[in-house]
Amino acid sequence: MSNLNRISAVNTVAALCETRPEPASPANISFYGQDVFSRDAMQQYLSKATAEKLIDTIDNGAPLDPSIAADVAHAMKHWAMERGATHFTHWFLPLTGSTAEKHDSFLEIKNGQAITAFSAKNLIVSEPDASSFPSGGLRCTFEARGYTAWDPTSPAFIKRHANGATLCIPTVFCSYTGEALDRKTPLLRSMQVLRAAVKRLMKNFGFADERVSITLGAEQEYFLIDKHFYLHRPDLIQTGRTVFGAPPAKHQQLEDHYFGSIKMRILNCMTEVEHELWKLGIPAKTRHNEVAPAQFELAPIFEDMNLACDHNMLVMEMLREVADRHGLVCLLHEKPFAGVNGSGKHNNWSVNYGNINLLEPGKDPQQNAIFLTMMTAIIEAVDTHSALLRASVSGAGNDHRLGANEAPPAIISIYLGDQLTEVIEQVGKESRAAARSAGSMRVGVDTLPPLPKDATDRNRTSPFAFTGNKFEFRSPGSSQSCSGPCVVLNTIVADSVNHICDEMEKFGKNDFNRELQKLLSKIICDHKRIIFNGNGYTQEWQEEAARRGLPNTPTSLKSLGALVSSQTQELFNKYGVYNIRELESRHEVFQEDILRRISIEGGIALEIAKSMILPVARAEFGKLVDALEKCNAAHIQSGKDTLTDNANMLGDALDRLNAKIRVLEKALAAENGKVREAMDALRLVVDELESQLPDEAWPLPKYREMLFLY
Ligand code: ADP
Ligand code: MG
């Protein structure tokens, strides 16, 4: 049996690689935001008074004046139709982790005439028949349907296709009893909670009321491979990752891909992605090659967190869509290829009060005090709820990444860099501070030494790194919504800020700085075990973290327990971010998701092994046996030893292959939690066969082809 599919794919791709640069025309970004119902569009399409009211709702969270909804709807329809839209959809983020949309046209029939209409009600609420979305028991189908409700803080936008366009209205998705069925509702709640806590803190520092904004910049990693290869990999098609594949001789050892020059075909695709994103007002900024071959990154300029989370969903969608137009496939799975780096999504997070970034060391003693208070709150929050943060990045794909010495370990810790750690330690030594011994730091009196942006490699190994004026949470997986980890981060930090405020509000008037120092010092002493600036990839850190009592939960399935611990329930309940039913439902949905994905992977591994690998191995074995028989018949001695040796080796591998297939079959049937183990064992044999069997007989595109030919 020869495999023409794979070989012809290689030939086709070879012909494709020959793109040439076009003569340049002048660059132009005037189309930025053209497909967003932006402030400019609002001002253009709405009366001044209505536009002002809407913008007030967006900026300041003023309740939406229901009397303007009809005007807004009308203007939006007008604006959208001018851009080719015939349909609208409430766009929402169900617990599946992707986006959902159900389109309705603007068409209405009135007195037998076709007209277009889009009412206030159409804009504000919708009742998708959403009974098939996972809800973890929150919405029994007989009980009630879910409804979607307009989120005016994320602007409506237009999605185009070859024959028209659709007006997309970002919405929350809830049950009739008001329980969140999506990822946006809790995010908005958690942002509200953190904003309130920060306002309270700033009031304690004597600041007037200002707008608090929480910012997120999500760096997105992804792979691009040629579609011809993809189409011959049933595992990629079905699961987004290769369940088999021997590492090629060269993969990422030479470290020659990271920041390397970008191949023209890839650059063409990236540029089109960026243009599409710019049309949607998504500020794509940075692009580069990543560590693994065929791996890349896209980073936007940071934005308000709610918007940034929505935008990241669109970034993922656009990457997939545009790649397809270029004959490529974008793989967003956390670990598409074994043996080379997986993909993450680094969530850069910060909190601003008016124009002040509270995570930026200040210029004067008071701003320093605020900065140190925020740092202390974050240290307390992350240490207290590290298991919950770990749970927030759980997923079947991310398990292959966390702790694989290429991504942060499953142990959550904070990287502050040596200098800031020193400062925090000085604050921790409160008693000596009063006497101003050398190396002490008086909160509210001293300014910080300049903190260099620590560019060491160690922070790459940290799950949660301070990077100058923001924290970078590096554990989230590349395919995951940013929302889950952001909800946790916002809420736990809000709780610590509130805890600090509770104490601050008991301070005597005169000794504010001394008392603050005492308070921060105590919190730091209690929680500094979470700070770790060393190399997170080492075995020593695993041991050290165990000594420090830090949780280490490598499997996502186990880590999910933290979602329903009494500590978590109490926390989220206190702030109304998730009630107990909402937590339980998420626990159930996420668990199911992991189990189902593993079982699908097992299923496809079994199918490939039985229907693609086993037949090839059998046929090759048969050829060797035939050759041996012919040697015997013709009394040929030379070459027989080699044939015998080869047949024995292949026969042995064939037996093992068959045995491992049986084990996987049993594991899948028994649902005994051993599917991953069985897949790993099967993979060893299949990958061994890949290097034993004749190249032209191997049916699956190989790593060296997928990762290097594009
Ligand atoms: P890196 O060295 O990790 O690539 P960059 O400085 O390029 O760091 O920033 C990475 C991401 O962090 C970008 O998306 C950027 O917009 C975002 N970022 C920068 N400042 C902030 C901030 N104050 N809040 C949130 N994200 C930020
Ligand atoms: Mg980064």
pLDDT in the model for residue 456: 65
By CB neighbour count within 10 A (0-12 exposed, 13-18 middle, 19+ buried), where does 680 fall?
A: middle
Query: Does residue 283 line the site of ligand 1, with CB under 6 A?
Result: no
Q: Is the CB of 216 under 6 A from ligand 1?
A: yes
How confident is residue 592, by pLDDT bands cut at 50, 70 and 90? very high
Question: Do 336 and 223 meet the contact criterion of CB atoms below 8 Å apart?
Answer: yes
Q: What is the pLDDT of residue 404?
A: 78
CA distance 322 to 269: 7
Measure the CA–CA gap between 130 and 100, rounded to whole angstroms. Answer: 10
Nearest protein CA to atom 11 of ligand 1, as residue? 217
pTM score, two decimals? 0.95
All domains in the chain, ordered by first residue: 31-180 (3.10.20.70), 190-595 (3.30.590.10)
What pLDDT score was predicted for residue 140?
56
- pLDDT category, 248, cuts 50, 70, 90? confident
Burial per residue of 1-34, b for 16 or more beta-carbon CB atoms within 10 angstroms, e otherwise: eebeebeebeeebeebeeeeeeeeeeeeeeebbe
pLDDT tier at 433, thresholds 50, 70, 90: very low
The predicted-structure confidence for 196-245, as pLDDT tens digits, reads as follows 999 999 999 999 999 999 999 999 999 999 999 999 999 999 999 999 99
Closest residue by Cα to atom 8, ligand 1, is 467
Q: Which residue has the higher pLDDT, 291 or 611?
A: 611
- Is the pLDDT at 588 greater than 90? The verdict is yes
382-394 pLDDT, tens digit each: 999 999 999 999 9
Phi/psi at 676 (nearest 5 deg)?
-60, -45
Question: Quick check: 13 pLDDT over 90?
Answer: no
Q: What is the pLDDT of residue 141?
A: 46
Closest ligand 1 atom to Cα of 218: 14
pLDDT digits (tens, 9 = 90+) for 491-536: 999 999 999 999 999 998 778 999 999 999 999 999 999 999 999 9
- Ligand 2 centroid–CA 150 distance in Å is 32
The confidence score (pLDDT) of residue 342 equals 95
Mean of the per-residue pLDDT values for the chain?
A: 92
> What spacing in Å lies between the alpha carbon of 51 and ligand 1's midpoint?
32
Buried b (16+ CB within 10 A) or exposed e, 359-397: bbbbeebbbbbbbbbbbbbbbbbbbbbbbbbbbbbbbbb
**From the CB of 357, is ligand 1 less than 6 Å away?**
yes
Residue in 287, 296, 302 to alter for ligand 1 test, most ligand atoms within 8 A of Cβ: 302
Select from 215, 289, 305, 348 the residue to mutate for testing ligand 1; criterion: most ligand atoms less than 8 Å from CB: 348
Mean pLDDT of 419-433: 79
pLDDT in tens, 434-449: 444 556 678 888 888 7
Atom of ligand 1 nearest to the CA of 360: 23
Give how far the C-alpha of residue 93 lies from the chain's centroid of Cα atoms, to the nearest Å: 14
Pocket lining: 214 vs ligand 1, CB cutoff 6 Å: no
Taking the centre of ligand 1 as the mean of its atom positions, its distance from the CA of residue 360, in whole angstroms, is 13
